[in-house]
A and B are shown apart, each in its own frame.
Chain A
């Protein structure tokens, strides 16, 4: 493969350099019906799971067909999405914040053909390319992070746990039987690039072993003060290590009881790896939300402290998730989010109804806010 230059001259990086362009202007990408009716929409209705109509004060309508997608997406698949949009949607489409793909048409008679087309497309392995759903009081697509596909600090895989979970809850992606919408999110380590901290159900990868210290190489590969400064809990300090042959090396000592397993030191220093087959696994958190509807936004709470990684389909994890969802679906009131339900019935009742085991790991002991999460009233349920 011969190197082909774009025109860039590495000897003069600033020559003809263009910078600070920002993104494309949004308006050039609007479908005509959107451009014409922006700001004029009157109401919307979900016609069936995954199919919405929005009606404008001009009388115009836009029909949206929402499809789930893996956020890891090949150019081949994107081209197929483009082909569909070229065929049905005047070459326009959009993505949602939850990695769904939305195809829009401007009249009802175009919907059926589009839906049929989307439903007919499958991967060679048998899964749908464009499952329609993810609307209303159902389970939408999972927002997630990179995991083992591309990250250096994950405690689990992201795409795999998401695929396994979405297969398990697929009927609820295409249905709207839940008391309210239920949002699942996934982050593959506690740094939470996926910001799962306000989700109805959060899948979180978690390490449980402090970093290994590769003393022999550490001082060659890393700058000790930088690695030490990277630790958010000040668990690292400089040390001298005597090797078997008597040589003394600069290295790092880990105060293991202070380690919160974040991997920030590994980011700075490749001689401090922390992933481990037995140590790493999944935490489940529930009851968060971001909407201000009825009650204020809430953080998710840890209800399962650890589930081992079970590749390739994480059956214990998906079973727990399904169990929580069914308990919620059976017991919550219409419009009640998972966290609102748990608060109404009380968390002690949540553990009853889900059958989840309550352990000491679920009681907060991390810094200030912990105290206020303990029960400070004599009111509780037996």
Chain B
């Protein structure tokens, strides 16, 4: 899959759900991309590097979200 296609799929799927939640597990992303985890990882890494996605970490678990979305930034005083 090309990066542009991956980006489109991810942005579309995450935007659709943005009303209820802004953070997603890696598994959710590989399902959106319909790829095996290792393949999905390469694209997801690139999307993080391009600033499309950003991480959110509980310390023990990591989640992904569209950069700048969600309520966390406000709650964590990082907005």
Asked if chains A and B are in direct contact (CB within 8 A), the reply is yes
* Residue in A223, A230, A270 whose CB lies within 8 Å of B70: A223
Q: Give complex CA distance A94, B39 in Å.
A: 40
CA distance A289 to B67 in the complex (A): 45
Contact check: which of B20, B23, B60, B74 meets A191 at CB < 8 Å?
B60
Bitwise interface map of B from 37 to 79 toward A, beta carbon under 8 Å scored 1, else 0: 0000000000001000000001110010000001110111000
Q: Which of A221, A224, A230, A267 contacts B74 (CB 8 A)?
A: A221
Contact of B71 among A14, A191, A221 (CB under 8 A): A221
Check: A180 CB closer than 8 A to any chain B CB. Answer: no
The answer for the CA separation of A264 and B21 in the assembled complex, in Å, is 17
Q: Is A77 located at the chain interface by the 8 A CB criterion?
A: no
CA distance A225 to B23 in the complex (A): 10
Q: Is the CB of A264 within 8 A of B71?
A: no
Shortest distance between the CB of A292 and any CB in chain B (Å): 28
| C-alpha spacing A226/B21, complex, angstroms | 7
Interface residues on B, range: 10 to 19
Which of chain A's residues 9-24 have a Cβ closer than 8 Å to chain B?
14
* Residues 204-232 of chain A, each 1 if its beta carbon lies under 8 Å from chain B, else 0: 00000000000000001111111000100
> Which among A221, A222, A268 is the interface contact of B58 at CB below 8 angstroms?
A268
How many angstroms from the CA of A225 to the CA of B59 in the assembled complex? 19
B58 contacts A230, CB within 8 Å? yes
A226 and B71 CA atoms in complex are apart in Å by: 11
For B59, what are the chain A residues with a Cβ–Cβ distance below 8 Å?
Answer: 267
A264 near B58 with CB under 8 A, answer yes
Interface of A: prevailing SS: helix
| Contact, CB under 8 Å: B22 / A223 | yes
Determine the chain B residues whose CB is within 8 A of the CB of A220 once the complex forms: 71, 74
Bound CA–CA A264/B63 (angstroms): 14
CB distance from A133 to the nearest CB of B (A): 33
Contact A221 to B75, CB < 8 A, known contacts A264-B58, A267-B58: yes
Q: Nearest chain A CB to B31's CB is how many angstroms away?
A: 16
Asked if B58 contacts A14 (CB within 8 A), the reply is no
Interface string of A255-275 (1 = CB under 8 A from B): 000000000100111100000
Q: Could you say which residues of chain B place their CB within 8 Å of the CB of A222?
A: 71, 75
**A307-351: contact bitstring with B at CB < 8 Å (1 yes, 0 no)?**
000000000000000000000000000000000000000000000
Q: A312 to B30: give the CA distance in the assembly, Å.
A: 49
User: Which residues from B are CB-within-8-Å of A269?
Assistant: 75
Q: Is the beta-carbon distance between A14 and B49 smaller than 8 angstroms?
A: yes
Shortest CB distance B28–A (Å): 11
Beta-carbon contacts of A348-377 to B below 8 Å, as 1s and 0s?
000000000000000000000000000000
Extra pairs beyond A267-B59, A269-B75 (10, CB < 8 Å): A220-B71, A220-B74, A221-B71, A221-B74, A225-B20, A225-B21, A226-B21, A226-B63, A230-B58, A268-B58
Can you name 28 A-B residue pairings with CB atoms under 8 Å?
A: A14-B49, A191-B60, A220-B71, A220-B74, A221-B71, A221-B74, A221-B75, A222-B71, A222-B75, A223-B20, A223-B22, A223-B23, A223-B70, A223-B71, A223-B72, A224-B20, A225-B20, A225-B21, A226-B21, A226-B22, A226-B63, A230-B58, A264-B58, A267-B58, A268-B58, A269-B75, A270-B75, A270-B76
